[in-house]
Amino acid sequence: MKKLLLLLLLPASLLAQPAERLVKVVVAPDRTDWTYKTGDPVRFTINVLQHGNPVPNARVKYEIGPEKMPATKTETLPIPSGSLTVDGGTMRTPGFLRCVATVVVNGKEYRGLGTAGFNPQDIKPTVENPADFDQFWSTGKAELAKIPLDARLTLLPERCTEKVNVYHVNLQNWAYNATSRLYGILCVPKAEGKYPALLQVPGAGVRPYGGDIASAEQGIVTFQIGIHGVPVNMDVSVYNSLGAGPLNGYQYFNLDDRDRYYYRRVYLGCVRAVDFLASLPQVNANVIGVTGGSQGGALSIITAGLDSRVKFLGAYYPALSDVTGYLNGRAGGWPHMFWGGTNTWTNKAEKIKTAGYYDVVNFARRVTVPGRYTWGFNDETCPPTSMYASYNLISAPKSLELFHDTGHWTYPEETEYINGWLLEQLKK
C-alpha cells in the first residue's frame, strides 16, 4: 500500500516521459557522477545505438559549450564503430559544460546530450536581493489577509469514492486594486478525524485538474490548485484556447511593474490556498506540506519561504530560478525571459528590478523548513546552473537527489525519493 501511495502523490504534470526513439544518441561525461572540479578536463563519449547495438558508419555533429550558451567547439566526425570519445575541455568557474550530439540515420535526425558539472555547490546567484523584499511580501500578505476567504465548495459526485469526497473549490484571492478567485480540486477523506494536508502546486501551462483522490483515500487531504483565476473543471478545449490566446506568455505579463506582475497574484494565491487548508476542520494545521515540479517546484519553495504554516516541501526541478543568469553570461532559469532575442525587450531596468522580487533565489534564502529536491544535469528547460543558484542558498535541512541523465522529466525512482519522504512527514 505504501508503494502505491508513493506514485499517487506524484503531481500530474510530472507523469510525462520523453518518447522512445528508434535510434538513441547517448552522451556521457567520463566520470560516473558527472561532476568535476574547476580546471579538471572532461571527455564525452557519444554512442549511437539502434536496437541496443552500435549504428555503424554514421556521422555525428557535436557541439560543446556552457549550457544554453553558444558552443565553443563544434565538429562533425565519422563514427565507424558507433562510438566516439571527444575532448570537452574544462571550465574555470563553477557551472555546467554540455555536449550536444546529432546524427542522421535513414534521413531522420536524432539528438542526445550529456552535461558535466564543475563545482556546482559553489554556484552563486546573479539576481538582485532587494533590500525591501521582506517588506514587499509582508505588505502583500497583509493585503491578502484583509480579503475574506469566501470559500465556495461544490461537491463533484461523479468523482467521489466510497472513502473520499471531492470538491471544486472557489476562493477569494488578491488582485491588484481588486479581488480575484483561486480555484482548485479538494479531496477529503469521509471518515471523521484530523488529517495531514498536501498542497499540490502546478507546473506551467493552462489546464484542468482532477485532484489527487487516491492519496486522500490513504488519509491525506489534498488540494490541487490552478493559478490563472479560472475554474479548473471545464472542458480541456477551454484551456487550450486560453493558453493559445489571452494567457499566452503570462510569465511576462506586467514584468516592468513589481506590484502588477502576473506572479504576484499567483504567489499570494498559494498563501491563500494554505489559508484555506488551515481553516478546514478535517485538517491538522500543524502538518501541511507543499509539492510540485518545474513552475510547481518553484511555487513549492516560494510558498514555504512565504508561509510558516508550511512545514516541509518536495520540489522537482524548480523553475523561475536566477532568471538574470543570461545577463551575466550564463544560463538563467525558465521562462528564460532574458535569453537571446527575448532580452531585446526584457533587458530593461524595471523588468530586471521586478525579477528580484519574484525569483526563487530570494525565497530560497528564507526557507526554514526541511525539503527534498531532485533534478538532472541534462535539463534544458530548467538549467541546473539556475537551480543550484537557489539550492545553494537554502540553510534549512535539505537533500538533493541527482538523476544526472534526466532532462525535464522524472524516473520512477525519483518520485519514490520525493514522495517516500513526503509520506513520512505527512504520517508523523
The DSSP bridge pattern shows strands 221-225 and 178-189 to be antiparallel
Give helix then strand counts, H and E, for the chain.
11, 18
CB atoms within 10 A of CB 322: 30
Of the candidates 325, 319, 326, 361, which has an alpha carbon nearest to the alpha carbon of residue 344? 326
User: In whole angstroms, how large is the CA radius of gyration of the chain?
Assistant: 22
Q: How far is CA 258 from CA 20, 56, 130, 349, 361, in A?
A: 42, 56, 11, 12, 16
Q: Classify strands 283-293 and 195-200 as parallel, antiparallel or unpaired.
A: parallel
DSSP-based three-state secondary structure for 254:
coil
How many angstroms separate the first and last alpha carbons of the chain? 17
Give the active site residues. 294, 379, 408
Measured CA to CA, the distance from residue 203 to residue 200 in angstroms comes to: 10
Q: For 297, phi and psi rounded to 5 degrees?
A: -65, -40
- Helix, strand, or coil (residue 186): strand
- If you ran DSSP here, which 8-state letter would residue 18 be given? P
